[in-house]
Chain A
Amino acid sequence: MRGFTHRRLVRGAALAGALTIALAACSSGGSGAPGTTPSTASSAAGQSALEQGGKITVWAWEPTLKKVVADFEAKYPKVTVDLVNAGTGNAQYTALQNAIAAGSGVPDVAQVEYYALPQFAIGGSLADLTSFGAASLDGTFTPGPWASVKQGNGIYGLPMDSGPMALFYNKSVFDKYGIAVPTTWDEYLTAAQKLHAADPSAYIANDTGDAGFATSMIWQAGGHPYTVDGTNVKINLADAGSTAFATLWQKLIDQKLLAPISSWSDQWYQGLGNGTIATLTIGAWMPANLESGVAAGKGQWRVAPMPQWTAGGTATSENGGSSLAVPKASKNQQLAYDFIKYADAGAGVQTRIDGGAFPATTADLQSAAFVNKTFDYFGGQKVNEVLAKSAADVVKGWQYLPFQVYANSVFNDTVGKAYVSGTTLQQGLKAWQDSSVTYGNDQGFTVNK
Chain B
Amino acid sequence: MAPKEWQLVTQTHPAPARAPRSRRRVARSWVGWGFIGPFMTVFTLVFLAPIVYSIYLSLFRQQLVGGNSFVGLDNYRRAFADAQFWSSVARVGLFLAVQVPIMLGIALFVALAIDSGRLFGRNFFRISIFLPYAVPAVVATLMWGFMYGTRFGLIGNIDAALGITLSDPLSPGLVLASIGNIVTWEFVGYNMLIFYSALRVVPTSLYEAAEIDGAGQFRVISAIKLPAIRGALVIATIFSIIGSFQLFNEPSILQNLAPNAITTYFTPNLYAYSLSFSGQQYNYSATVAIIMGLITMAIAYVVQLRGMRKEA
A residues at B contact (CB < 8 Å): 90, 94, 97, 101, 119, 122-123, 208-209, 231, 261-262, 265-267, 270, 402-403, 405-406, 409-410, 412-413, 416-417, 419-421, 439, 442-445
Beyond A122-B65, A409-B274, A420-B172, 19 additional contacts (C-beta under 8 Å) are A101-B280, A101-B282, A209-B260, A262-B256, A265-B256, A265-B257, A266-B152, A267-B152, A406-B278, A406-B279, A412-B259, A412-B260, A413-B264, A417-B260, A419-B260, A420-B260, A439-B279, A443-B64, A445-B65
CA distance A97 to B265 in the complex (A): 21
> Inside 8 A of B172's CB, which chain A residues have their CB?
420-421
Our pick among A90, A421, A445 for the contact of B64 (Cβ within 8 Å) is A445
**A234–chain B nearest beta-carbon distance, Å:** 16
B66 within 8 A of A: yes
**B200–chain A nearest beta-carbon distance, Å:** 44
**A297–chain B nearest beta-carbon distance, Å:** 17
Counting contact residues on chain B (CB < 8 A from A), the size range is: 20 to 34
CA distance A417 to B263 in the complex (A): 10
Q: Given contacts A97-B280, A267-B151, is CB(A416)–CB(B64) below 8 Å?
A: no
B157 within 8 A of A: no
CA distance A94 to B280 in the complex (A): 8
B261 within 8 A of A: yes
Q: Are A261 and B264 in contact (CB under 8 A)?
A: no
Closest partner residue, chain B, to A446 (CB atom): B65
Q: Which chain B residues numbered 255 to 282 have a C-beta less than 8 Å away from chain A?
A: 256-257, 259-261, 263-265, 274, 277-282
**B175–chain A nearest beta-carbon distance, Å:** 10
A-B contact pairs, 26 of them (CB 8 A): A90-B278, A94-B277, A101-B280, A119-B64, A208-B260, A261-B151, A262-B256, A265-B256, A267-B149, A267-B152, A270-B152, A406-B278, A406-B279, A406-B280, A409-B274, A413-B265, A416-B260, A417-B260, A420-B171, A420-B172, A421-B172, A442-B281, A443-B63, A444-B65, A445-B64, A445-B65
Q: Main secondary structure on chain A at its contact with chain B?
A: helix
> Inside 8 A of A421's CB, which chain B residues have their CB?
172
Q: Are B264 and A409 in contact (CB under 8 A)?
A: yes
Our pick among A208, A265, A409 for the contact of B278 (Cβ within 8 Å) is A409
Q: Which chain B residues numbered 232 to 263 have a C-beta less than 8 Å away from chain A?
A: 256-257, 259-261, 263
Closest partner residue, chain A, to B260 (CB atom): A416
> Inside 8 A of A122's CB, which chain B residues have their CB?
64-65
> Inside 8 A of B280's CB, which chain A residues have their CB?
97, 101, 406
Q: Are A123 and B64 in contact (CB under 8 A)?
A: yes
CA distance A304 to B274 in the complex (A): 38
Residue with the greatest number of chain B CB neighbours at <10 A, chosen from A261, A266, A439, A444 = A444
Closest partner residue, chain B, to A410 (CB atom): B264
CA distance A401 to B141 in the complex (A): 35
Q: Which chain B residues numbered 138 to 165 have a C-beta less than 8 Å away from chain A?
A: 149, 151-152
> Inside 8 A of A443's CB, which chain B residues have their CB?
63-65
Closest partner residue, chain B, to A439 (CB atom): B279
> Inside 8 A of A231's CB, which chain B residues have their CB?
65
CA distance A232 to B66 in the complex (A): 13
> Inside 8 A of A413's CB, which chain B residues have their CB?
263-265
Q: Are B259 and A208 in contact (CB under 8 A)?
A: yes
CA distance A403 to B264 in the complex (A): 17
Q: Are B66 and A444 in contact (CB under 8 A)?
A: yes
| Binary CB contact string for chain B from 280 to 291 against chain A (1 if under 8 A, 0 otherwise) | 111000000000
CA distance A416 to B280 in the complex (A): 22
**B83–chain A nearest beta-carbon distance, Å:** 12
**A439–chain B nearest beta-carbon distance, Å:** 7
Q: Are B259 and A209 in contact (CB under 8 A)?
A: yes
> Inside 8 A of B64's CB, which chain A residues have their CB?
119, 122-123, 402-403, 443-445
CA distance A29 to B30 in the complex (A): 65
CA distance A183 to B261 in the complex (A): 34
> Inside 8 A of A403's CB, which chain B residues have their CB?
64
> Inside 8 A of A267's CB, which chain B residues have their CB?
149, 151-152
> Inside 8 A of B281's CB, which chain A residues have their CB?
442
> Inside 8 A of B151's CB, which chain A residues have their CB?
261, 267
Closest partner residue, chain B, to A122 (CB atom): B64
The 7 A-B pairs with the shortest beta carbon distances in the complex, nearest first, are A444-B65, A416-B260, A409-B278, A444-B66, A444-B63, A412-B259, A443-B64
Q: Given contacts A267-B152, A420-B172, is CB(A442)–CB(B63) below 8 Å?
A: yes
> Inside 8 A of B263's CB, which chain A residues have their CB?
412-413
**A264–chain B nearest beta-carbon distance, Å:** 9
> Inside 8 A of A101's CB, which chain B residues have their CB?
280, 282
> Inside 8 A of B257's CB, which chain A residues have their CB?
262, 265
CA distance A50 to B274 in the complex (A): 41
| Binary CB contact string for chain B from 57 to 76 against chain A (1 if under 8 A, 0 otherwise) | 00000011110000000000
**A405–chain B nearest beta-carbon distance, Å:** 7
> Inside 8 A of B264's CB, which chain A residues have their CB?
409-410, 412-413
> Inside 8 A of B152's CB, which chain A residues have their CB?
266-267, 270
CA distance A358 to B65 in the complex (A): 35
CA distance A405 to B277 in the complex (A): 10
> Inside 8 A of A119's CB, which chain B residues have their CB?
64
| Binary CB contact string for chain B from 191 to 207 against chain A (1 if under 8 A, 0 otherwise) | 00000000000000000
> Inside 8 A of A262's CB, which chain B residues have their CB?
256-257, 259
Closest partner residue, chain B, to A443 (CB atom): B64
Closest partner residue, chain A, to B277 (CB atom): A94
Residue with the greatest number of chain A CB neighbours at <10 A, chosen from B151, B171, B274 = B151
Closest partner residue, chain B, to A125 (CB atom): B64
> Inside 8 A of A410's CB, which chain B residues have their CB?
264, 278
CA distance A349 to B171 in the complex (A): 45
**A198–chain B nearest beta-carbon distance, Å:** 19
> Inside 8 A of B282's CB, which chain A residues have their CB?
101
CA distance A416 to B264 in the complex (A): 12
Residue with the greatest number of chain B CB neighbours at <10 A, chosen from A119, A261, A413, A421 = A413
**B126–chain A nearest beta-carbon distance, Å:** 35
CA distance A393 to B256 in the complex (A): 34
CA distance A406 to B263 in the complex (A): 14
